[in-house]
C-alpha cells in the first residue's frame, strides 16, 4: 500500500472536518452564471472608484490556485476553464461558520463563490465573496505552484495536471477543436460531405507504412488498424458522392519523435472532377481561413522559423528543387546506372528495393532539399515508384501528378490527381508486391475489390491527406506533436 505524505495526511484530516460539518467533501451540482475570462473582459475598462456605485454580482466555480490567508480575511485565486479571477473572502461577509469551512481549503480544492464584483486599489478584478461553497477536496497537492510539472514526460502522462498548472496547454487543448470545426465548416460550405469508414481492415492499403496487427476472435482473422483512409473514400466517389472527407484516427507502427505519434488524426479529402491544382488551391485557402478565423493572424513561429501564410505559396517540382540544391537534373537522366552512380558518389545508401530511378530521386530530395523548404511550398512531380495510387504525368510517365505541402522543413499534406485507371492501378499494386518480396515491409497489398470498383468507373478526381496534429502544431505554435495530442502514446514506466 502506498505511504501517504504529510501533506496528504493533512488533507485527509481536513476532509474529515468537512464531513463532520455535515457536508459532502466531494460535492454536488453547482449552478454558475459567469466565467473568469468573460468577467475580466466585461470589466477591464471599469476603474476602481466606479464600482462604488455598482452592485454587479457573479457566481463562479473553479479550482483554487493561490491562497493568501490573513486571519479573518483572505485572498485566493480561482481558475475555471477560461482563466483565473481573484476572490476576497472575509468572516464579516460570510460568517464564522462559512469562514471556518474556508479555512479547510487547500490549493487544488474546487469551490463555488457568489459575490459582488469589485476592483482592488491595484486594479485587479476581484469577487467579494458573499457565499462560499465547498465542492471537492483535493487529496493530493498540486505540483509546485510557480513551475508546474518539471518532468516533461509527466506533462504527457498526467495531462490533467498539465492542464491545471499550464495555461498554454489549456490554450492548445481548446484551440484544437476550434480548428477542426473551422475545417469542417470550410469543407461543408463547399459541398463536401463528412463520412466515416472502418478502422479495422484486412488489407494494408492507402499509404506506405508499417501497420498495427490485431485479431478478430469470432472470425479467427488477423486484421490491421488502418494506416490511411483513401480507398474507401474513393469507393464513395465511384458511388457518386463526388465530394467527401473524413477526419479520423489512423495508426502506423512506427517510431515516435516530435513529428510522429503512432496514433494520430488524419483527414483525407476527395473531390470528383478536380485535380492537383484544385487540391493546391483548396489547401492554401483552407490554411488561410484557419489562420484568419481562429488565430486572427497569418504569421506563426513554428519549429524555429517565422512562417508567413499570406501571399501566393511557392510551387516547384521535385526534380527542379533537387537541381536547385545539387545541380543534378534527374528529369534529363534516363539511365538507371547513371542514377546508381550518382547515389554512390553522394554517399546515399540504398536498400535492395530502392535501387530504382524514383527511389533514388526521393533519396536525393530527402538529403538535400526537404529540410530547406521553410515557407509554405507545394512540391509536385513525385516519381511513380513512390506514388502507387497517383495518376501518371501525361507528359512523362516516370512521374506522377502528386504534391506534398512542406512547411518549416516538414511534410504537412500529401495530394494526388487520383489514379482511376483500373488496369494501371492493378499494375501498380503488383509492383508493390514485388517490392514487398525485396524487403519493403511498407509496401501495399492488392485490394481486388477496389480494382473492381474502379472498373465501374471512378470520375477524375483530386485527393489530399492532412496530418491534423501537425496542422494544429503550426497554428498553436507548438514544438512537439505530444503538445497537441491530449493523450499521446507513452511507454509505461518501470
CATH number at residue 273: 3.30.930.10
- What is residue 436's predicted lDDT score, i.e. its pLDDT? 79
One digit per residue, the tens of pLDDT, for the chain of length 494 reads: 789 999 999 999 999 999 999 999 999 999 999 999 999 999 999 999 999 889 999 999 999 999 998 889 999 999 999 999 999 999 999 999 999 999 999 999 999 999 999 999 999 999 999 999 999 999 999 987 545 556 678 889 999 999 999 999 999 999 999 999 999 999 999 999 999 999 999 988 888 788 999 999 999 999 999 999 999 999 999 999 999 999 999 999 988 899 999 999 999 999 999 999 999 999 999 999 999 999 999 999 999 999 999 999 999 999 999 999 999 999 999 999 999 999 999 999 999 889 999 999 999 999 999 999 999 999 999 999 988 778 899 999 999 999 999 999 999 999 999 999 999 999 988 888 888 788 777 777 899 999 999 999 999 999 999 999 999 999 999 999 999 999 999 888 76
CB 89 within 8 A of CB 131: no
* CA angle (443, 446, 447) in 5-degree steps: 125
Strand locations in 154-292 (E): 193-194, 200-201, 212-216, 221-225, 243-251, 263-272
* Domain shared by 36 and 89, yes or no: yes
* Domain shared by 179 and 84, yes or no: no
Which letter does DSSP use for residue 115 in this model? E
* Domain shared by 123 and 208, yes or no: no
C-alpha cell at 9: 495526511
CB 115 within 8 A of CB 131: yes
* Domain shared by 92 and 235, yes or no: no
DSSP string, 40-107: HHHTTT--GGGGGG---EEEEEEEEEEEEEETTEEEEEEEETTEEEEEEEEHHHHHHHHHHHHTT--T
- What is residue 145's predicted lDDT score, i.e. its pLDDT? 53
- What is residue 148's predicted lDDT score, i.e. its pLDDT? 53
Helix spans in 275-403 (H):
276-290, 318-326, 336-345, 357-368
* Domain shared by 67 and 179, yes or no: no
List 433's β-bridge partners, or say none.
none
CB 261 within 8 A of CB 489: yes
- What is residue 146's predicted lDDT score, i.e. its pLDDT? 44
C-alpha cell at 385: 515508384
Answer yes or no: is 335 within a domain: no
* Domain shared by 38 and 96, yes or no: yes
CB 390 within 8 A of CB 318: no
- What is residue 296's predicted lDDT score, i.e. its pLDDT? 98
Question: Distance between CA 259 and CA 165 in Å, rounded?
Answer: 25
Coil, helix or strand for 319? helix
* CA angle (336, 342, 345) in 5-degree steps: 145
Helix spans in 353-444 (H):
357-368, 422-437
> How far is CA 334 from each of CA 329, 351, 365, 387, 399, rounded to the nearest angstrom?
11, 21, 18, 19, 12
* Domain shared by 172 and 282, yes or no: yes
Answer yes or no: is 357 within a domain: no
Ramachandran class of 22: left when φ > 0, alpha when ψ lies in -120 to 50, beta otherwise: left
Question: Distance between CA 47 and CA 349 in Å, rounded?
Answer: 69
Of 81, 107, 142, the residue at which a domain comes to its end is 142
46: containing domain: 6-142
Answer yes or no: is 151 within a domain: no
Question: Distance between CA 303 and CA 465 in Å, rounded?
Answer: 21
* Domain shared by 437 and 304, yes or no: yes
Question: Distance between CA 490 and CA 482 in Å, rounded?
Answer: 10
Cell 516530435 belongs to which residue? Answer: 258
- What is residue 149's predicted lDDT score, i.e. its pLDDT? 58
* Domain shared by 106 and 195, yes or no: no
Q: How many domains does the chain have?
A: 2
CB 385 within 8 A of CB 357: yes
Amino acid at each position: 500500500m502506498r505511504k501517504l505524505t504529510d501533506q496528504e495526511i493533512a488533507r485527509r484530516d481536513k476532509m474529515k472536518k468537512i464531513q463532520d460539518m455535515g457536508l459532502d467533501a466531494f460535492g454536488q451540482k453547482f449552478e454558475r452564471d459567469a466565467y473568469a475570462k468573460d468577467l475580466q473582459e466585461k470589466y477591464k475598462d471599469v476603474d476602481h472608484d466606479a464600482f462604488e456605485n455598482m452592485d454587479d454580482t457573479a457566481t463562479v466555480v473553479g479550482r483554487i490556485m493561490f491562497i493568501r490567508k490573513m486571519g479573518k480575511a483572505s485572498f485566493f485565486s480561482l481558475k475555471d476553464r477560461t482563466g483565473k479571477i481573484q476572490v476576497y473572502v472575509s468572516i464579516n461577509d460570510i460568517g464564522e461558520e462559512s469562514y471556518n469551512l474556508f479555512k479547510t481549503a487547500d490549493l487544488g480544492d474546487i469551490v463555488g463563490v457568489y459575490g459582488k464584483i469589485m476592483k482592488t486599489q491595484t486594479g485587479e478584478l476581484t469577487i467579494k465573496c458573499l457565499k462560499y461553497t465547498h465542492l471537492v477536496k483535493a487529496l493530493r497537492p498540486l505540483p509546485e505552484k510557480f513551475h508546474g510539472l518539471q518532468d516533461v514526460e509527466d506533462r504527457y502522462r498526467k495531462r490533467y495536471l498539465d492542464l491545471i498548472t499550464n495555461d498554454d496547454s489549456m490554450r492548445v487543448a481548446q484551440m484544437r477543436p476550434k480548428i477542426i470545426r473551422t475545417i469542417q465548416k470550410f469543407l461543408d460550405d463547399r459541398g463536401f460531405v463528412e463520412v466515416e469508414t472502418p478502422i479495422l481492415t484486412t488489407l494494408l492499403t492507402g499509404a506506405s507504412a508499417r501497420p498495427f496487427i490485431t485479431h478478430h476472435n469470432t472470425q479467427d482473422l488477423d486484421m490491421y488498424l488502418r494506416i490511411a483512409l483513401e480507398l474507401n473514400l474513393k469507393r464513395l466517389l465511384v458511388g457518386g458522392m463526388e465530394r467527401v472527407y473524413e477526419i479520423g484516427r489512423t495508426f502506423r507502427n512506427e517510431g515516435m519523435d516530435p513529428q510522429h505519434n503512432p496514433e494520430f488524426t488524419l483527414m483525407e479529402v476527395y473531390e470528383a472532377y478536380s485535380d492537383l491544382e484544385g487540391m493546391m488551391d483548396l489547401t492554401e485557402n483552407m490554411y488561410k481561413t484557419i489562420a484568419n478565423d481562429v488565430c486572427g493572424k497569418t504569421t506563426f513561429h513554428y519549429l524555429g522559423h517565422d512562417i508567413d501564410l499570406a501571399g501566393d505559396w511557392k510551387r516547384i517540382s521535385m526534380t527542379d528543387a533537387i537541381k536547385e540544391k545539387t545541380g543534378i537534373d534527374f528529369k534529363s537522366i534516363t539511365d538507371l546506372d547513371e542514377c546508381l552512380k550518382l547515389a554512390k558518389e553522394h554517399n546515399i545508401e540504398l536498400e535492395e528495393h530502392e535501387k530504382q530511378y524514383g527511389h533514388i530521386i526521393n533519396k536525393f530530395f530527402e538529403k538535400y532539399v526537404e529540410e530547406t523548404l521553410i515557407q509554405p511550398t507545394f512540391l509536385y512531380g513525385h516519381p511513380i515508384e513512390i506514388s502507387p495510387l497517383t495518376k501518371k504525368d501525361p507528359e512523362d510517365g516516370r512521374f506522377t501528378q502528386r504534391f506534398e505541402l512542406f512547411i518549416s522543413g516538414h511534410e504537412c499534406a500529401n495530394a494526388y490527381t487520383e489514379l482511376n485507371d483500373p488496369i494501371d492501378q492493378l499494375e501498380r499494386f503488383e509492383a508493390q508486391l514485388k517490392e514487398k518480396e525485396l524487403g519493403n515491409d511498407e509496401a501495399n497489398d492488392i485490394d481486388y475489390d477496389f480494382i473492381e470498383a474502379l472498373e465501374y468507373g471512378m470520375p477524375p478526381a483530386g485527393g489530399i491527406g492532412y496530418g491534423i496534429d501537425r496542422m494544429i502544431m503550426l497554428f498553436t505554435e507548438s514544438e512537439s506533436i505530444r503538445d497537441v495530442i491530449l493523450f499521446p502514446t507513452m511507454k509505461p514506466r518501470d
